[in-house]
Amino acid sequence: MAAAKKRILICDDDPVILRLLQVNLELEGYDVLLAHHGEQAVEVAEAELPDLIVLDIMMPRLDGYQTVERLKAGDRTKPIPVLFLSAKAQQSDIERGREHGVDDYLTKPFDPTDLLEVVERLVG
């Protein structure tokens, strides 16, 4: 179980993925915030300052890369760790994520156990 109710913002344009992530994380004791696109993720992150942000890459309005750029440009949101969770599994995608300041990268489909291990490591 997670200690002291860490808050995690999940951003994905697929409602099934959002729900799956939400259920898995809430079962582990995390508070979960949801966003459906990058602009909304930036707004929620600035308002709520979550302990971790889980982002898809391929989304409408702002993709994951653009979203991370905005988050890392903000003084208040810059220190928040970001995990990319994406179907984009090429090494070049992973490297591009790291160049944008992403802390870790999981590919879809993902193993919920792997997700929880990465989340626990990033929220410490």
Tens of pLDDT, residues 9-67:
999 999 999 999 999 999 999 999 999 999 999 999 999 999 999 999 999 889 999 99
Beta bridge pairs of residue 54: 10, 83
For residue 85, give the nearest of 40, 42, 51, 119 by alpha carbon. 119
Q: Does residue 2 surpass a pLDDT of 50? A: no
Number of structural domains the chain divides into: 1
Tens digit of each residue's pLDDT (9 = 90 or more) over 94-104:
899 999 999 99
Residue 104 lies inside a defined structural domain of this protein: yes
Residue 42 lies inside a defined structural domain of this protein: yes
Range of the domain at 89: 7-123
Cα–Cα distance, 36 to 77 (Å, whole number): 18
Residue 16 lies inside a defined structural domain of this protein: yes
Residue 54 lies inside a defined structural domain of this protein: yes
Residue 75 lies inside a defined structural domain of this protein: yes
- Sequence length of the chain is 124
Residue 74 lies inside a defined structural domain of this protein: yes
